[in-house]
């Protein structure tokens, strides 16, 4: 952030990458909250299920609560006014014929429950 040198530059925190990097909720809480601009919420197993990391990150993430990332704790460590979006690509389910609505609805419901 210091290197970029822009007053409007903020961090985007992605829960998959946070968890897989070993970052704890305490790591997130230790950040200056004014530096966190955006959160991408998804779930994955802590340990990769064996697929290529980039393939998983780009195409196969899980709805909140279906992996084992500490999502509630991460969200509690974030500023209250941070923008949270869902980053949950599900290519295999789409290719299996699951509709967009049927893929999205449980993700939104799970995210709302986490943030309640």
Q: Residue 107 and residue 101: Cα distance in Å, rounded?
A: 10
69 touches 15 (CB < 8 A): yes
Residues of the chain with pLDDT under 50: none
Inter-residue contact 114 to 65 (CB < 8 Å): yes
pLDDT at residue 79, as a whole number: 93
Number of Cβ within 10 Å of residue 79's Cβ equals: 14
What pLDDT is recorded for position 113? 95
pLDDT recorded at residue 50: 87
Question: In the prediction, which pLDDT does 2 show?
Answer: 80
């Amino acid at each position: 952030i210091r290197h970029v040198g822009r007053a409007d530059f903020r961090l985007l925190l992605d829960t998959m990458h946070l968890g897989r990097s070993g970052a704890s909720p305490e790591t997130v809480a230790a950040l200056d909250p004014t530096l966190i601009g955006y959160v991408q919420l998804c779930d994955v197993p802590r340990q990769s299920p064996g697929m290529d990391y980039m393939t998983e990150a780009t195409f196969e993430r899980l709805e909140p609560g279906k992996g084992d990332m500490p999502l509630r704790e991460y969200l509690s460590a974030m500023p209250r006014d941070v923008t949270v979006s869902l980053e949950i690509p599900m290519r295999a389910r789409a290719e299996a014929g699951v509709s967009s609505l049927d893929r999205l609805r449980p993700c939104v419901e799970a995210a709302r429950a986490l943030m309640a």
